[in-house]
Each structure stands twice: as structure tokens, then as C-alpha cells.
Structure 1
């Protein structure tokens, strides 16, 4: 039996009526005494309660990755958590891009991850998706920068370029020694760009002349090569061009005052009699169908990006609810908070299941436009719901950048719109399942 500390007992007796308490305890039956001891023991162990880890991969899709691929995933995760997470809110708030991270990002060797040759790793498309999720889980802006460069820009050259163009650009872009951008959307034409493109190209004896404007072009303020899509005045077909940094007649102005993806350097591009040689025309881009090949390949990556955004918001909110106390206990103990968390996790898990299967189809050569579009529609909508609930469980703190969720809430709005709006992607799927086109 533990020795009684009478000095300590004397101090306690000054605060409470010990004889009265002893009499009350003596009046308890055995069952009541056991209940009292259990309550006191559990209270003593309260600070020792081990909580489950914070992990949005509830169905353990990571277990489907072999050791090599899991190592790549964890390498990207460590980079994002150590190099990007500490600076993400600051650069997002200032609407500036952290140029110093580019060499460190290059060292990961993940650009053009699913392409073959030209220094690219040639990994499965599933890994391209996993990487997109891991980057967006911490910062959707950095994920967008990466997706524009590695997916849209490199993908355009990989799918539509000549061998000479691939040899010139892809090895440098894979190492991030040259940065790429992708110019398709215009000030007056977004969803209807396939048939209503206003930017024109005209063939001359010396090559081509481009005129028009492009808007929302990520990376364009500092990119070394910008893929520009333009309508041929003569044939009315869409063609692609490699516009080099500093090309006369090319001007990129940073778009200010954005509420989302503030770290991404989006630009308004103006092309004024911009002269391009035939050697810099994408030799295998001769209609919008070729442009669509690039969009089909990269739209799957945007769906994965939506998963990453939702996962980052969910994990941030879950972490917060375990620490934030109200009414004397962590708010994670309250039923309504747990309901929100489970709703978030349900959406997240459904999204992850969809994109994982989507990438499997891509690896099997079975990916269609409607497959990619359905994933983009569902994941971007569900991400909106997840980030909204994440902000809700955090109360007023949910609108502060320091808790990260506010950034995810804003960035989810950009994911919802780019790479095809919800309406356009819905019509692509609708056409596939009904056999009727509802496009105007």
C-alpha cells in the first residue's frame, strides 16, 4: 500500500470536508465504489489516450502501390510538407511564386512521369495521379503550376510535336531547366473555344503570323515556351505553336486580384503580328481533335488534384477538431462534428476510388473523354462540399489563412472551373450515355 503523505492530506483538508467525503464514500455499495474508481482512473489516463493517425486514405489505396511507387509518393509528400507547407500561405497571400523551389522540385524527377523517353520516368498514369494528389494535398497552386508544365505543356509536345521538337524541349522541361505554359482559353471564349477560337494564325512565306489574346494562362509570365493554339484563317482548323520567351509580338501581363490559386502566375497574353517559324509549329496538331487529346490526358490529373485539395482540407479540419476545445472537451467528441467529418471522408473516399479506377483505365489504354469528364464533374463538385464542411467545423478560424482550410476553400473554386466547367463535362458524359449531343 502506498505510504500516506500527511502534509499533502492536511492541505487537501483545508479545501474540502474530508470527514463528510469519507462518510459518503463509506455509504457506497460495491458497484458504486467500482464506478467511482473507474471514473477516477479514466480521468487520470485522459492525457494518455492514443488517438488514431490523421489520414485521408481510409480505404488504404496506398497499399496498392508497390515499394518503388510508395517510395516516390513519400518522397513527394516529404518535399511538400518540409519545403512548401511552411511558405504556402505567405506566397498565396502575396500572390507571388516561390521561384527558389524549382531546382528542388526538379530533383524529385517527377516531371513527365508517365511519358516514355526524353529523360522521363515512364511510370504508370496511376503514379501521375498520386503525385498530383500529394502536391495538391498541401498546395493546389503548386499542383497547378506542375500540372500546367508537366501535363499540358509537355503533354502537347509529347502528343503533337515532331521528333525534333520533342528532342529540343522535353529533356529540358523534364529537368525544369525550361518552364512551359499552355495557351488555349481566351478572354471572350472559354467553354466554346473548340468552335469559337478568336486567336488566328496565318501562313506566310517565312512561317506563321499569330494575332489574338489568351487569358488565364498559368506560368506564362515566366515560361520559356508557351503552347499557343490558334485558328488557321485559311483552313479554319486549330493548330498549335511553340512560342518562345521573348518572341517579338508576344506580351504576357500578370492577372491581379484573384481569389483563388493566387500563387499561380496567370497571364493575359496578347499576340500582335507574332511571327513563328514553321519549325515551331506543332507538326502533329492539325485540328481541335489533337488539342482534345491533350485535354483528355490531363483532365484525369485535375480530378486527382481535386482529391488532393479535398484531402488537405479534411486532414486539416480533423487535426483542428482534435485540438480545439469547447465546453471542456475537444470538439471532435461532439456528434455533429463527427457527422461532418464522416461526410467529408465519405466524399473523399468515393473520389479516390473513382480517380484510381480512372487512371487504371488510362494505363490500360481504355480512357475516353467521357471517363475523364465524369471524374472531373464528380470530384470537383464533391471537393466543394468537403472544403465547405471543413471550414464549417473550424468556425471563425476557418476563414484564417494560418489554418490552411481557407486557402483550400478558395482554390477549390478554381478547380471547379478549369479543364472544362461542370456543365461542359456533364454534356460530354451525357452525349456518351444517350447517344445525343446537347451542345449548341
Structure 2
């Protein structure tokens, strides 16, 4: 395969030597520690917890954060790492996203000095695991309707409620839980809840058709009592969790392109090796059209992610622009993975090949951190100046 097969527009020339070196380190880790095992992990619905300290040693946990043992890398470097991890599997990139972009970001952005010192060094090293409890059984795209409550009780708080689709909750040491307070205003606040606290229960969700090498849970909060030092002092209202979601959404736009690239490269290898009617199937016009369409969309998607990352590093990125990348790149990546599967024919529905596994994972990625519909409405409000959430005109 030629260089044009992998990087048609020479996008590597837009990266610094340091950025390329970091990408190659993560790619090597994926090739050595994830690719040989991912099919078995996916089939068994197994998350390889033993990789967590290795991810920490690579500097991938909270890698865009500064201080308290965090790596302090750039947004583009974080994006490149996310792309390589998701080329292995969405579940492994999701771990890094939940740990760093959600749980660690919440503590770094809104936590007290004591909270940051207590949790961030261990989380950056992979010695401690965090989760982020926002979504509820009846409050997914509409977090303002959350029912989890935090009631003042003496010098502490009592939390009651339920959360759903919470990544890592059953293996986490600390949960960032968002709840509506009983202070008369119903303000949403964040709390750091050690998962060993009485009344906290996390139950893994089974029967998933995607994200099988990852952990998502139901959380029950039944009279969970925490001290006043559990309250995140810097977060009031939904602005706090939304800012963390935007960190995760940013990584997703890169990660999705990693899955798409891996599916395309699998289809290309197969097309060059597989022979039908006496020739390589890569010689057929329709196969070449499929491959070219994949190249077009992958290169455009990476350009979107890279430009977004440069804006983020320059401090000029707006949340509405993150919605552009998340919406476009995940939707595009699913189409690429499905098309790559068709090149593989019937063999493509087995775990011997990656494209359909990636497509199944991306169905979950398409839904979490804002559905297509939510990001469409975010963009629509920016374009028209008219909010249309909840059917409002």
C-alpha cells in the first residue's frame, strides 16, 4: 500500500515532530497490548483493567490537565492519542475519556485544593479510577430534569436517586455525582462520593450489542451520606457538567476517526488480498469507489478534528464548534465502518475483522455525550438564533 493509501493529503505535515512521536507511542501500545486481544475481550464483554496503570504510565489519563501529577499535554496531543486508542477499540478510548475528560476534569476545574490533592495524582497514575454520574434513567438528553437529590443534614449531605449508563462505576474508587440540592433553589451541584460509601451501589449493564470491552453501569444512591468536603465548590448549575461533557465530546471527534481509519485499512488490505473472478477485488470499480469515498471522509474528518484542536489550544474554541465535530465525525465514521464491512462480504460479520465491531461501538458513541439530535439543535440555535429544544419554536 502506498503512502497515499494512509494519508492522502499528507496531513502528517501539519503535525509537529513531538505530536507525531506521541501518536506513534500510543499506536505502538495499541498494536502490542490491545489489537491481539480485543476480539476476545469484546466477545467476552471483558474490560482489561490491567491496562489502567499502563495507560497512566503512558501519560494518557487526564493528559490535557495540568498540575497534581497530570501530564499537561496539548489538546491536539490528547486528540491524537484518542484517535489511536479508538483505532484499537472505542471501549479503551472511552475509559480514558471517562477518567480524564469527565471525572478528572470535574475535579481539576471545580474541586478544592484538598480534593485535587486527594484524587488527581492517583487518577493520573491509574492507581485510582473515577466515574461521572450525570445521566439518569429518565434524564438523558435533558439533564435539567434530573431527580437525584442532595439533602442538607447537619454538617453534610444525603444523596438519593439513580443514575444510568455510567462508565466505570463498578470499578471506580470515586464517583462525581450531580444532584439537585434542597436549598430552596433546586440548584444542581457536584459531589465527590467514594464508591465504598454505604448506600452506593453500581451494577454493570449487560446484554450490550456494542461497547462490550467497556463498563457501563446503573447506580443506586440510597441515603448516601457524605461530608461537606465532598461538595465541588466551583460548580453551580449545569454549566459545570456541560463543560466536562465538552471535553469528552472533543476527544470523541478524534476517536471516531481512529475507528473509521482502522475499518478502512482493514477493507483495503482485504480488497488487495481477496480474489474473485480471477482478480483482486480491489481491481473492481465499485470497490475502488467505496475505498475512495472512505478516504475522502476520513481525511476531511481528521482535518475537522485537527483544526478544532488548534482552536482549543489557542483558547478560541466555542462549544458550538465542538458539536460540529462530534456530530459530523461520529456519523461519518459509522457510515465508513458499515461500508468497510461490505468490502469484506460475509467474513465481515465475524470478530476476525474489525469494521463491524467498530460500527457497533460507534452506535453507542453516537448516542452518548449528546445525541445527533442534540448536537443538531445546538448547531441550529447557533445558525438561526432560535432555540428549538423540547419542541420549542
* TM-score, normalised by the number of residues in structure 2: 0.96
The structure-2 alpha-carbon separation of the partners of 1:186 and 1:302, relative to structure 1 and needing over 3 Å to count, comes to same
Residue 97 (structure 2) pairs with residue 179 (structure 1): no
Q: In structure 2, what is the equivalent of residue 85 of structure 1?
A: 35
* One of 242, 257, 274 as aligned partner of 1:292: 242
Q: In structure 2, what is the equivalent of residue 428 of structure 1?
A: 378
Q: Distance in 2 between matches of 1:383 and 1:402?
A: 20
Q: In structure 2, what is the equivalent of residue 100 of structure 1?
A: 50
Q: Is the 8 A contact 2:338 2:356 kept in 1?
A: no
Q: In structure 2, what is the equivalent of residue 261 of structure 1?
A: 211
1:238-257 equivalent positions in 2, closer than 5 A? 238-257=188-207
1:183-222 equivalent positions in 2, closer than 5 A? 183-193=133-143, 195-222=144-171
1:62-211 equivalent positions in 2, closer than 5 A? 62-193=12-143, 195-211=144-160
Q: Distance in 2 between matches of 1:58 and 1:133?
A: 17
Runs (4+) of structure 1 exceeding 6 A deviation are none
Q: Distance in 2 between matches of 1:57 and 1:416?
A: 25
**Greater radius of gyration (CA):** 1
Q: In structure 2, what is the equivalent of residue 369 of structure 1?
A: 319
SS of the residue 1:284 aligns to = strand
Q: In structure 2, what is the equivalent of residue 224 of structure 1?
A: 173
Deviations 1:230-261 (A, max 9, x none): 11133211111111121111000010000010
Q: Is the 8 A contact 2:190 2:232 kept in 1?
A: yes
Q: In structure 2, what is the equivalent of residue 22 of structure 1?
A: none
Whose strand proportion is higher, 1 or 2? Answer: 2
Deviations 1:260-304 (A, max 9, x none): 101111110000011111111111111111221111222111111
1:307-318 equivalent positions in 2, closer than 5 A? 307-318=257-268
Q: Is the 8 A contact 2:131 2:175 kept in 1?
A: yes
Residue 358 (structure 2) pairs with residue 408 (structure 1): yes
Which stretches in structure 2 are left out of the alignment for 5+ residues? none
Q: In structure 2, what is the equivalent of residue 279 of structure 1?
A: 229
Which stretches in structure 1 are left out of the alignment for 5+ residues? 1-50
* One of 288, 296, 314 as aligned partner of 1:346: 296
The structure-2 alpha-carbon separation of the partners of 1:249 and 1:431, relative to structure 1 and needing over 3 Å to count, comes to same
Q: In structure 2, what is the equivalent of residue 391 of structure 1?
A: 341
Q: Is the 8 A contact 1:92 1:263 kept in 2?
A: yes
SS of the residue 2:80 aligns to = helix
Residue 405 (structure 1) shift? 1.6
* TM-score, normalised by the number of residues in structure 1: 0.86
Deviations 1:41-91 (A, max 9, x none): xxxxxxxxxx42585433232222222222111111000011100010101
Q: Distance in 2 between matches of 1:228 and 1:60?
A: 44
Q: Is the 8 A contact 1:143 1:305 kept in 2?
A: yes
Q: Is the 8 A contact 1:232 1:239 kept in 2?
A: yes
Residue 181 (structure 1) shift? 0.9
Q: Is the 8 A contact 1:56 1:314 kept in 2?
A: no
